[in-house]
Each structure stands twice: as structure tokens, then as C-alpha cells.
Amino acid sequence: MNIRPIIGISASLTLDSSERFLGRRIVSLNENYINAIIYSDGIPFVLPITNNIEIIKNYARLLDGLLLSGGYDINPLNYFENPSLKLGKTLNERDEFEINLIKEFEKLDKPILGICRGNQILNVAHGGTLYQDISLIQGSFIKHNQNALEYEVTHKVTIKEDTNLIKIVGKNILVNSYHHQCIKKLGEGLKVAAISDDNVIEAVENIDGSFKLGIQWHPEMIFNKNKIMAKIFRCFLLECENNKYRL
């Protein structure tokens, strides 16, 4: 019997707002990420924030792949910039945790899929920078933080030739979109895999061809209604499964 690949999903942290437990720290993760991994024949393993490097190294050794989830803005101090007036809420603990996760999984050459914030932290971990708000990009005209329902697609993305992503989703796709930040300077070892019509970087991947993929949209919100989005997760899980038997 084949053992399904076990996928670590980075969790976030929220504070309890109830009167009884006001301020209590709660590990949080949108269930869509979990469901997408289960649907794609993987085993989800939620990773609470820790900056114990030995625990992070064990995560990397024990798990077959890493899914970096969405959430807070990334502290611009991580890429040597001061905070813009348009910067949203940040969480330094999570930034440090995920950067260390990326480094440890990459040391073992295990597949990584980053979604929204996950795409951005992958870029930052490689020395890249971000636009702290899309309004700071001259010429940007697309609404990247949609008001439509989460499973509705709202704008076009063009996939670059000679990328792994074009083999998965094709040349042109429609995506949902919930972000106000995006990649500015590309991180070392990464290449642009997709752009929007207003030249916002919508996806990145490793230049060496290994499965390190960051995407700016949210396939986990739409995988059960959209075959292309479902294919992203299935290809990620297949890479994790193949990688497991290579090690």
C-alpha cells in the first residue's frame, strides 16, 4: 500500500477576542488549505509557529512537502525597507518561522508551494523585495483585492513560456485575487512564471527546474469548482510523492 505524501501547511496566529479569554493566542489556518491537500490525495499536517530551529529541521526531515499559506503582510524590515503608510498587519514570529522553514526544506530539495503571502515570503527568503501596496506600482489598474465571492475568477493571468507552471495550467488562465502586496525585486534563484495584464508578478518558480512554486492567487478557495486550480495541487502532490521515493 502506498503511503500518501504528508504535507506541512504553515499556520498563522490570532488573538482571542472573547471577553473570557481576551488575548489568548490561537493557532489558525483556513480549512480550504487542508481540504485541498486531502482532495489531492495528500495528508495535511498543520505547522504551528515556532522558532525552535531543531523543531523546524525535524519538520523538514519528516514531511514530504511544504505549503505556505496566506495571511499577514510581511514585515518590510525583512527586506531592509521601512514600513509604508499602506502596510497592513504583520507578525514577526511568522516571518521568521516561514523563512526558516523554506531554508530547511530547500536544503533537502523538497517541493514547496507558496500561496499569496506564501509566494511573497518565498521571494523574500531568497533576498527579494515587495511592493508594500499595489497602488505604489505606476500603471497598475487591475483590482487585485476582489469583492467578488472567493470561488469566482476576476482577472486574467498570462503564464510565461519555458516554465513548469505553463505545463500545469496552460498559457492564459483566469484567477481569483485577494492581495494588496506583490513582488518587486525578484529573489535570487527565482524567475517570473506569470504576470497580470498590469505587469504584477503573479507567480514565480525556481530557475533550476525543481518544484518551488509561488502563486499570488488562491487555488485553495476554488479547487473544487475549477479543474485548472485542482491540477496545481495534484501536480504539487505528485512531485512530493516522487520526491519521497527518490530520497
Q: State the Cα–Cα distance between residues 44 and 37, nearest whole angstrom.
A: 6
pLDDT surpasses 80 at 246: no
Which has the minimum average pLDDT: 1-15, 98-112, 191-205? 1-15
C-alpha cell at 124: 523574500
161 is catalytic: no
Average pLDDT, the chain: 95
Residues 16-57: tens digit of each pLDDT: 888 888 889 999 999 999 999 999 999 999 999 999 999 999
Instruction: Give the per-residue pLDDT at 15.
Output: 85
Q: State the Cα–Cα distance between residues 97 and 61, nearest whole angstrom.
A: 16
Kindly name the residue from 98, 104, 106, 116 that is annotated as catalytic. Answer: 116
Kindly name the residue from 155, 218, 235, 239 that is annotated as catalytic. Answer: 218
75 Cβ contact list (under 8 Å, min separation 6): 83, 90, 91, 92, 95
116 is catalytic: yes
Q: State the Cα–Cα distance between residues 7 and 42, nearest whole angstrom.
A: 7
Confidence band for 86, pLDDT divided at 50, 70 and 90 = very high
Residues 121-161: tens digit of each pLDDT: 999 999 999 999 999 998 899 999 999 999 899 999 999 99
pLDDT surpasses 80 at 65: yes
Kindly name the residue from 104, 202, 205, 220 that is annotated as catalytic. Answer: 220
Confidence band for 244, pLDDT divided at 50, 70 and 90 = low
235 is catalytic: no
pLDDT surpasses 80 at 243: no
* Nearest by Cα to 218 from 125, 136, 141, 113: 113
